[in-house]
Structure 1
């Protein structure tokens, strides 16, 4: 989601620091839906392998000036997350900074609000550790977090390398490859409900239904990352990144019902509902929907994250981030969350990801 919007934003004639020559990279080959015209070139390599990283990136070490890091691998434990994600970033930095002609001068690192909440499997009760709204100067939590390891790695390269950290909320964008893709998951859930005549029930708690949360349009995130890369005052700083508004899920859920063409069902806490259990075995139903509507051939298990959706919609706190620091430093990007939901759903449809 973030990579597509970054590539589009860098190609804008009004992009700060431009004109940009954009290289895209990932472990797998470029997907058919990604506009190759946005890229000067695409490099497929395994960042967890130093030999492969050196082989593929060394020829570019005298050309790359900015690195926009949005890569992520998710493993079973946070210790494993730390190892693989720190290794990937370390390998790329090593290759792009070790050559005599290296030109790399800035890295933008995308993380998220798990910086403040901790990993999904953490034991500490959130109510005892959270400080709201999330602010960039909040002390780190006393638990393992691969975001911390990545930030520390960048700091160890500075100077001469500058960096910026971007802590997004729930990202709204378009992709079939993002590990945590909330909007696409909810869209698939809605399509299956509509196809089978099932109620499109809110898969969360009463607290989440009635309290505030925020989101991040992938375009706003890209805009902030490019701004930080081209703004000297933003060097070596961390910034929250949200749309700048907040909403309640009961309001957004009605809007989603309208967008997806399903009937709104009021929340009823007396009815137990687990979206993970409800969607088990629905892969064949999604296959039918894909065939019926001529969509891109995808597997439900690969493009959805029902466990993450259940987690996010069960927060017992208001998930809101302060954007004050960004504004103080000169970034004023924003988006209307309800409008951007509609925009991205329409784009997902145009890309033939959902019906």
Structure 2
């Protein structure tokens, strides 16, 4: 039997790791779920502990006085207003947590630490990347690009494991996560679902709000529950020691296929001429840095052929969400359907604008993990449909009753 510590246990990815281990009490004797607050009820093998990850190592050690485990899963993240601040805060957070384990004496028992990061590893937030993205791609470390706190966290973790040679490390790179966590709205499904629900309340068909270019480009997604299963596999797989892995569902998708499915799943249809004309809410924003693909442009024979990366919105959702008619429609809908009223304001509209507004593909390889024996796979559309179901059950989205397959359902009034 094993024990585990999950840091960031209420986030979209951390919550699923806790949930997955909670299903196997015979294997996971004790799971210490660490977060600022408890938002879920837990099975008997899960114990919640309050922790403030912004504390010093000494103060955190007091909170961890009786907490020890064989495995650590670090899935905490604090969003900041700049890349420099993210480097500082999120790097210090991991360094102080690991320092707290040293002070408490728990570090000597740890077998493996799994650090959850993301495809920001490749600079997907900066512009066009080389496709497919593979784990051996060069890091964007020089002054051409802003600091990347994932790099600092990985350096911190490697030094910790070198110091404590009983421990090995694993790093995961998920992308465009599909999932649900109470009180956490930084995910695709909730914001897309709320946008669709309000559009329907206004008597409108579903209109793609992002970039017309990206509508037919490819993206890779990560289901939060598949990521959790991967983390448990990687924690115990000997060959995974001291390795970083892409973690995506295993297929690629484009919104030209997903968007009509979203519409049908939520009881709507796509506006047939959704790209006709120009919305008053349209916007275009060039990205500030050279696209990451320029790092290898000469090597791959594309020197001088790399265009500017940008995000474009046919409907800028950050501005759309501030319209009186939109707010009133949500309030009517929330009141009538018994929904969480504050879900609309907590939705991360600017985040969705960026994700849907890109003008470049994101194709992420799973070959490394597969070569080591990982066989997990999950259909991207199923991940979205399941997440919508969870959001409906949590009264964040109105319940839609449908019959038939989600990919071609007949919605009932």
TM-score (norm 2): 0.77
1:1-355 equivalent positions in 2, closer than 5 A: 1-13=12-24, 18-27=27-36, 29-31=37-39, 34-37=40-43, 40-50=46-56, 51-60=58-67, 63-100=68-105, 102=107, 103-117=109-123, 120=125, 122=126, 126-127=127-128, 130-141=129-140, 142=142, 143=145, 144-159=147-162, 160=165, 161-178=167-184, 180-266=186-272, 267-268=274-275, 270-272=277-279, 273-281=315-323, 282-283=326-327, 285-296=329-340, 298-302=342-346, 304-355=347-398
Q: Which moved more, 1:46-55 or 1:201-210?
A: 46-55
The 2-side partners of 1:101 and 1:336 are apart by 39
**Preserved contact between residue 58 and residue 95 of structure 1 (Cα < 8 Å):** no
In the superposition, relative to structure 1, how do residues 229 and 20 fare at CA in structure 2: closer, same or farther (>3 Å)?
farther
Pair member with larger Rg: 2
Match of 1:247, SS? Answer: coil
Compute the displacement of 1:286 (Å): 3.4
Q: Deviations over 1:313-341 (max 9, x none)?
A: 12222111000001011111110111222
In the superposition, relative to structure 1, how do residues 36 and 167 fare at CA in structure 2: closer, same or farther (>3 Å)?
same
Extract unaligned runs of 5+ from structure 2. Answer: 1-11, 280-314, 399-413
RMSD of equivalent CA atoms: 2.1
Match of 1:158, SS? Answer: helix
Q: Which moved more, 1:48-57 or 1:229-238?
A: 48-57
**Number of residue pairs matched?**
340
**Preserved contact between residue 64 and residue 96 of structure 1 (Cα < 8 Å):** no
**Preserved contact between residue 64 and residue 104 of structure 2 (Cα < 8 Å):** no
**Preserved contact between residue 7 and residue 39 of structure 1 (Cα < 8 Å):** no
In the superposition, relative to structure 1, how do residues 101 and 76 fare at CA in structure 2: closer, same or farther (>3 Å)?
closer
Compute the displacement of 1:298 (Å): 3.3
The 2-side partners of 1:109 and 1:222 are apart by 12
Q: Deviations over 1:46-78 (max 9, x none)?
A: 111125422211221xx2221111111111110
Compute the displacement of 1:248 (Å): 1.3
Match of 1:322, SS? Answer: coil
Match of 1:164, SS? Answer: strand
**Preserved contact between residue 276 and residue 310 of structure 1 (Cα < 8 Å):** yes
The 2-side partners of 1:38 and 1:216 are apart by 28
Match of 1:313, SS? Answer: helix
Q: Deviations over 1:225-281 (max 9, x none)?
A: 111111111011110011111111011000000111122124406423222211125
The 2-side partners of 1:100 and 1:13 are apart by 27
**Preserved contact between residue 176 and residue 221 of structure 2 (Cα < 8 Å):** yes
Match of 1:346, SS? Answer: helix
**Preserved contact between residue 61 and residue 104 of structure 2 (Cα < 8 Å):** no
Extract unaligned runs of 5+ from structure 1. Answer: none
The 1-side partners of 2:230 and 2:349 are apart by 29
Compute the displacement of 1:19 (Å): 2.7
Q: Deviations over 1:100-136 (max 9, x none)?
A: 4542232111111111125x4x5xxx34xx2111110
In the superposition, relative to structure 1, how do residues 210 and 81 fare at CA in structure 2: closer, same or farther (>3 Å)?
same
Q: Deviations over 1:276-328 (max 9, x none)?
A: 211125455434433322234534222x1111111111222211100000101
In the superposition, relative to structure 1, how do residues 4 and 39 fare at CA in structure 2: closer, same or farther (>3 Å)?
farther
In the superposition, relative to structure 1, how do residues 264 and 179 fare at CA in structure 2: closer, same or farther (>3 Å)?
closer
Q: Deviations over 1:74-99 (max 9, x none)?
A: 11110100111111111111111333
